[in-house]
Chain A
């Protein structure tokens, strides 16, 4: 019995579809780097809900909306009173709660969903190495977080640049302020993405992953609080190491100095331990990334 062709089974309302049969693919096949890029791009789009349902867009864009609104408000106030309300780095610090919220929403979206649906064997049966999968997702989350903080910083910069009264010199000074701010936003992005994605990769349940991420970032702050009131100066100055947020702030205070704390020593002192904070941040990111790779070496094999 001959197989009925697709055209015979499904006559098109307008004209006839000719089943030309199976066609072999003769075109180019891209290499590892392009596949990595495709997965990275896909991850970045997923982070902001592009190509996803309307429901998946709500939370990311809610956060983006709030952060942008704050930035616009800061720029507007500044143009009125003539002096900055917050530096770019201070803005990033102030937004840390929203960054945590964004990570808690997006990291499970990037990795937990794939774990839950069991789609990983479909990835890992393709040429793409397992580590590429994990690193592309991580890079996508880092980029998304950096855009989340850097985009509004750019808005603030534009506001300041267009209202400056010192001409090009003012714009240039403003740019010199912006660049460390963007770097500081990058530090936030790297630290929070590496930890958030590692936590999310441990479970296929998105709610658990989100809860776990919030727990890791917020439950560690009381430890900082306890350490910072101990009757030991060294303990107080190293207290910030106990939580990712204060760790990032510590590195910021050490490297950016008055761009972050502006003369006022602020509530958190790091004393001479700045390099320790920087080293801790590097080790934290490296460790989290290594654990993520280990996790993906084992999962779904």
Chain B
């Protein structure tokens, strides 16, 4: 059924067979019963921080950050995630960067508790930073140094001895896909190469956790796919947990195990990605006439059909769902208007939320 699923191929090479431009319907997720919430991550109401097990990667408890007592960047954020690839999604200004800076111990939360790799970054930031690699969102590379020099130097700043720093720097640069270019000044690099250097410097000291702030910023679609594939590879093959920040849900959901969605500093949802996506893949069927007949026919086929105006919504179990629907339409000889996978962008979700703020 390749015709109908044309959009899927774009994300090829990534683990999830999901439409690359589409995104899960978070609104729908939020409305669903909380019974499904306990996946690999969850909203842990009764969490007691000091007794966190070693499996907990990041845990926050009622984390709040206000600037100057007026601007609220994070509000009562409670979340706990296990190792893996974690997507942190939210619109610009949702508090993603603030959360990352708190995790690094760069800024102190106004109230609440936080734990990274079992260490409290507010009391022992050096211990956290020794085991964490950080890739900032903004440009941060001196243009006149070569990638090799810069990453070696930053490796030494992370406490690697001189020769180890040099070896690890060239390894890290090789892993992100920079070869001979690494001896040229960074000033002449493309945006994609600069992003790779930023990733390499976060990897050089072999951290247990990478914090990536908008790693696909400024990249073209091919560059985005390459960067996401790289992040996915780091999370799976290298055995390093990754927290990847993005304002594009459709992007991070392709590589993540766990998704944390925040907006206006508040947690929208934190959950295992499979729990979210299986629930959201819905086929929308529209026929010019005979909607009732089709609904009845699909119900006979044991497909849970829902009505949404002129549309019939059928949960997408696997490819056979397409066959069943098309078979039913052909059988009833109805004029099929459209059959597509429901697509929602995170932007829609936040657009409605922002209206409610106003």
In the complex, the number of residue pairs spanning A and B with C-beta atoms less than 8 Å apart equals: 107
A30-B159, A35-B156, A301-B106 given; A117·B140 CB < 8 A: yes
| CA gap between A126 and B154 in the complex, in Å | 9
Count chain A CB atoms within 10 A of each CB in B104, B139, B141, B206 and give the residue with the most.
B206
Whether the Cβ atoms of B161 and A30 lie closer than 8 Å is yes
CB distance from B281 to the nearest CB of A (A): 21
Whether the Cβ atoms of A126 and B238 lie closer than 8 Å is no
CB distance from B196 to the nearest CB of A (A): 13
Interface string of B127-157 (1 = CB under 8 A from A): 1011010101011111110000100011011
Please give me the 6 A-B residue pairs with the lowest Cβ-Cβ distance, nearest first: A25-B206, A125-B134, A127-B126, A117-B142, A22-B238, A29-B159
| CA gap between A118 and B221 in the complex, in Å | 26
Whether the Cβ atoms of B13 and A117 lie closer than 8 Å is no
Contacts of B237 in A (CB 8 A): 21-22
CB distance from B352 to the nearest CB of A (A): 33
Contacts of A27 in B (CB 8 A): 160-161, 164
| Other A-B pairs beyond A126-B157, A127-B125, A301-B107, 6, CB < 8 Å | A3-B229, A118-B136, A119-B140, A123-B157, A125-B104, A125-B132
Residues A89-132 near B (CB distance < 8 A): 113-114, 117-129
**Cβ-based interface call for A168 (8 A):** no
Question: Which residues on A are within 8 Å of B, measured CB to CB?
Answer: 1, 3, 6, 10, 21-25, 27-32, 34-35, 38-39, 42, 51-53, 56, 113-114, 117-129, 301
Whether the Cβ atoms of A35 and B159 lie closer than 8 Å is yes
Residues B169-194 near A (CB distance < 8 A): 171, 174-175, 177, 179
**Cβ-based interface call for B158 (8 A):** yes
**Cβ-based interface call for B201 (8 A):** yes
Whether the Cβ atoms of A31 and B159 lie closer than 8 Å is yes
| CA gap between A21 and B239 in the complex, in Å | 11
A1-B12, A22-B238, A51-B149 given; A29·B106 CB < 8 A: no
**Cβ-based interface call for B168 (8 A):** yes
**Cβ-based interface call for B205 (8 A):** yes
Contacts of B171 in A (CB 8 A): 22-23
Whether the Cβ atoms of A118 and B157 lie closer than 8 Å is no
Whether the Cβ atoms of B164 and A25 lie closer than 8 Å is yes
Whether the Cβ atoms of B130 and A29 lie closer than 8 Å is yes
